[in-house]
Amino acid sequence: MIIRLFFVVVLIFFVSCSKEDQLSEKDLWYSLNIENYEMIQQISCFCFPCEFNLPKSIKVENDEIVLIDGKDPKETVGYESFYSINSLFYFIESKLKENPEIYEINYNKEYGYPESIYFDMSKMIADEEIGYYISGLKIIDND
């Protein structure tokens, strides 16, 4: 009996995952409590003007976007369409509730934030697809 118990404990030890492996990507991101960071965010859509689709350098402090390309966010065309990472998680949840026909989301393995997001809500509607791409995440110290 004791030998069996020993093997079960050893098996559980080797099969079990690390804490981060057990967390969802969103849970991992929130567990790290990252509120201040910089990132490159690009929106992919059939939107005008064309500058809207260009990659933007975004600075986030206390989970609020404070700069887009070094300027006040309100000076950026379509600024309300750019999101902090926490807001991207809400965006993902809201789009998934709408039952998209096609979607793809890829997450950063180390921090859990979405690196690429793509939604096509209806194959029958042209040009309503939207994608977000996040790169170059740089965590800023909270000090």
Residues 119, 68, 116, CA angle at the centre, nearest 5°?
A: 25
What residues contact residue 75 under an 8 Å CB cut-off, 6+ apart? 68
The pLDDT value given to residue 47: 72
The pLDDT value given to residue 55: 94
Residues 110, 137, 38, CA angle at the centre, nearest 5°?
A: 145
* Whether pLDDT at 84 is above 50: yes
* Whether pLDDT at 4 is above 90: no
Contact 40, 136 (CB under 8 A): yes
- pLDDT tens string 7-63: 433 334 433 333 344 469 999 999 999 999 999 999 988 776 777 789 999 999 999
The pLDDT value given to residue 1: 54
Place of tokens 């995440």: 137
What residues contact residue 9 under an 8 Å CB cut-off, 6+ apart? none
Rounded Cα gap, residues 141 and 131, in angstroms: 29
Rounded Cα gap, residues 37 and 29, in angstroms: 13
Predicted structure pTM score: 0.78
Rounded Cα gap, residues 114 and 134, in angstroms: 7
The pLDDT value given to residue 53: 83
The pLDDT value given to residue 49: 73
